[in-house]
Amino acid sequence: MNAIEILFWLLSALAIISAMMVLLSKNPVHSVLWLIAVFFAISGHYILLNAQFLAIVNIIVYAGAIMVLFLFVIMLMNLNKESEPKRNFWRILIGIISGGSLLMILVSLIRQATEINNKNALMESGNIGLIKTLGKLLFSDYVVPFEISSVLFLSAMVGAVVIGKKE
């Protein structure tokens, strides 16, 4: 077992345990903190796959900006035991059944997936996630969606200003 494999298993275990803790912790603030741990573990995976740009963006945008927003919202909402909705037996049952069926489908899917079985990820050697490659693609093949998203941002901005403006 070389260092990369050890790192891979470590990060995977960290990601799965933190993801479980997101769901299991009673306090929503703790959930958000565990979610940050999940993002860090996944960023580690990106680095293992030689996708540095993705790793950095994942940390800056998700762990940094979005999680801080989450924390703000949760603190402003003032959640506590009394405001928690009552748990209905039937609702839990339906949740277990539908979640269980989805899990079953996903497991059987991965077992039968001929596309991904016996194929190895390109550890260290893949260059698809390097900034140079990404930049070239973004400004050649994918320049149209890239430019069009600017109109999307313009309209989102206009919408936010109209709604947020005080009369």
Partner 1 sequence: MLNDFLILMKQELVITVIIFILLFIKVGSKDWKNEALLKLINILLLLNVVFSFIGNQEGVLFNEMFKTNNLISFEKGILSLGIFIISLSSYSWLQNHKHVAEFYMLLLSTLLGMFLMISSGNLLLFYIGLEMSTIPLAAVVNFNLDKKQSSEAAFKLIISSAFSSGLLLFGISLVYGATGTLLFSELPQTLTGTPIQLLAFILLFAGFAFKISVVPFHLWTADVYEGAPVAVTSYLSVISKGAVLFVFVSVLYGAFKPLATTWYNMLFILSIATIIVGNLFAIRQNNLKRFLAFSSIAQVGFILIGISGSSQAGTASVIYFILIYVFSNLAAFAVISFISAVTGKETIADYKALYTTNPFLSWVITIALFSLAGVPPTAGFFGKYFLLMAGTGIAGSKGLIIWIIIAALNLIISFYYYLRVVKAIFMDANETPIEKLSIPFLPKIAMIICVAGIVLTGLFSFIYEYIFSLSSGF
Residues engaged in binding partner 1 (CB under 8 A): 105-106, 108-110, 112-116, 141-145, 148-149, 151-152, 154-156, 158-163, 167
**For partner 1, which is the closer residue by CB, 60 or 113?**
113
**For partner 1, which is the closer residue by CB, 88 or 155?**
155
Between the two ends of the chain, the Cα-to-Cα distance in Å is 65
In sequence order, the 6+-apart residues with CB closer than 8 A to the CB of 110 are 116
- The nearest distance, CB 138 to partner 1, in angstroms, is 11
Name the residue among 86, 39, 89, 47 with its Cα closest to residue 64: 39
Q: And the tokens for 109? A: 């899917």
The 10 Å CB-count burial string (b at 16+, else e) for 37-55 is bbbbbbbbbbbbbbbeebb
- The nearest distance, CB 140 to partner 1, in angstroms, is 9
**For partner 1, which is the closer residue by CB, 88 or 98?**
98
**For partner 1, which is the closer residue by CB, 2 or 90?**
90
